[in-house]
Amino acid sequence: MKVLVVGGGGREHALCVGISKSPLCQKLYCAPGNAGIAAVATCLPIGAEDIPALVAAAQEQAIDFVVIGPDKTIALGLADRLAEAGIPCFGPSQAAGRIESSKSFMKDVCTKAGVPTARYQRFTDASAAHAYVKAEGAPIVIKADGLAAGKGVTVARTIPEALAAIDDALVERIFGESGASLVIEEFMEGEEVSFFVLCDRQGAKFFASAQDHKAAYDGDKGPNTGGMGAYSPAPVIDKEMEERVMREIIQPTLAELQKRGCPFTGVLYAGLMMTKTGPKIVEFNARFGDPETQVMLPRLKSDLLALLYACSKDMLDGVELEWHDSAAVTVVLATRGYPGAYGKGSIIRGVEAADTVPDAFVYHAGTARNSAGDLTANGGRVLCVTAPAPTLSLAKKRAYEAVDHIDWPEGFCRRDIGGRL
């Protein structure tokens, strides 16, 4: 079949690599793609948020199947428009995607479904939010209600920090309409885990787990980012915990969405906090994670395209998930200044050398080619260096060995990804 992957980051590079290996894949396109994706797919110069152009391209190229990567594309309703055009896709409807695009919707679903989550209140007025924080105390969590590219969450350790985060969103409007309302919730102690489930209208299957490192700098210091690295599988998710999360969190959530007339298809990504009293939901995402996808897919033995297509056709029950007996670590290289202001166009060398480390692979997240053909940085998170291995500790060693081959003075990475291992 002819497949179109929508997006241009590291997640989409990993999806493209996985899909390209499938015997079902006759021709692979990606919109807009990046310099790394261009090696495995034909890149179309269409933005991931240009819904009419994406649908038109799918029709013009006679695309058989579309895989949606970014959250914003889901929130803008690409799946709905493709359905109207009769083109199958992997990804939820706009209505079901609200489980990610609206924190207050997600919290309401959890409350109705009896899913364990943090106590919360929603605010649109800064003064009322200030009063609530002063009454509750710190630490406390401030979240932009809408999508904010992974940067809309502040874990405030002090009341002044919380008040500043409220003002940033509701007064300064640094997140635009995404921060026009806030969800303020209690701080939960524990270990955070990413838990991924494939879904069709008939049911769901556990896919894989990972643990992400959100803070920009070593020791979990600095501002929150979209993710500076990850490892998979998450040691805290054994078979017993997997079944508990499916029973207490995933199944009730899917049932509640079904009741609301918006059944969820695609991949449901649950951000969990493993508290002393058990797993609680921090947030839901309606798509594969980034950088979790880069660290999970190298472990997958099953045909990725067959799995994704089965979800779109309500045939998930008929396919088996098989995994290599391995672990993996991915380290993100970002442009200095990220997640704040950063420059573009700096030259990156040594990627080919990094790929020579046994089983290591460099996924491109924000790259381009200049007029001379040099690989350049074209975003905040730029490269994801991934290595699978029989153990997590060996995977970590190989990943950093590959990182050390990359020559990019304008970039930085955390040196402690997988530090708990």
What is the four-CA torsion angle of 161, 166, 168, 173, rounded to 10 degrees?
170
pLDDT for 197 beyond 80? yes
Reported pTM: 0.93
145-159 per-position pLDDT tens digit:
888 766 788 889 999
For position 420, what pLDDT does the model report? Answer: 61
Tell me what pLDDT residue 223 has.
Answer: 86
Per the prediction, the chain carries an average pLDDT of 95
- For 10, half-sphere exposure in the C-beta direction (CA atoms, 13 angstrom radius) is 35
pLDDT band of residue 238 (cuts 50, 70, 90) is very high
pLDDT over 90 (residue 196): yes
DSSP tag of 404: T
Check pLDDT > 70 for residue 20. Answer: yes
For 255-282, the pLDDT digits (tens) are 999 999 999 999 999 999 999 999 999 9
> Of 48, 73, 91, which marks where a domain is finished?
91
Prior bond of 32 cis (ω within 30°): yes
CATH number at 54 reads: 3.40.50.20
* Tokens coding 201: 């209208």
Band of residue 421 on the pLDDT scale cut at 50, 70, 90? low
Two tokens, residue 313:
């056709």
Mean pLDDT in residue range 367-372: 95
Judge if 274 and 359 occupy the same domain: no
Mean pLDDT of 336-346: 95
Model confidence pLDDT, tens digit, residues 79-127: 999 999 999 999 999 999 999 999 889 999 999 999 999 999 999 999 9
Domain co-membership, 250 together with 356: no
Helices 251-259 and 103-113 meet at what angle, rounded to 10? Answer: 100
pLDDT grade for 18, boundaries at 50, 70 and 90: very high
Given this model, what pLDDT does residue 177 score?
A: 83
Q: How far apart are CA 351 and CA 330, in angstroms?
A: 15
What are the tokens at 291?
């950088």
Q: What is the CATH number of the domain that holds 133?
A: 3.30.1490.20
Q: How confident is the model at residue 15 (pLDDT cuts 50, 70, 90)?
A: very high
pLDDT band, very low/low/confident/very high, at 351 (cuts 50, 70, 90)? very high
Q: For position 371, which CATH number holds?
A: 3.90.600.10
In terms of domains, do 331 and 314 share one? no
The label of the residue with tokens 């993996």 reads 328
Question: What is the reported pLDDT for 146?
Answer: 82
Number of domains in the chain: 4
Structure-token match 């080919």, residue found = 352
Q: Is residue 101 part of a domain?
A: no
pLDDT per position as a tens digit, 374-419? 999 999 999 999 999 999 999 999 999 999 999 999 999 999 998 7
In a domain, 276, yes or no: yes
**Interval 279-334: pLDDT, tens:** 999 999 999 999 999 999 999 999 999 999 999 999 999 998 999 999 999 999 99
* DSSP one-letter code for 106: H
Considering the domain architecture, whether residues 207 and 313 belong to the same structural domain is answered as yes
Domain that holds residue 163: 125-180
Of 180, 201, 222, at which residue does a domain stop? 180
80 with 138, same domain: the answer is no
Q: Which band of pLDDT confidence, cut at 50, 70 and 90, is reported for residue 226?
A: confident
Convert the pLDDT of each residue in 128-147 to its tens digit. 999 999 999 999 999 888 88
Considering the domain architecture, whether residues 313 and 195 belong to the same structural domain is answered as: yes
Domain ends where: 295, 318, 341?
318
pLDDT at residue number 153: 85
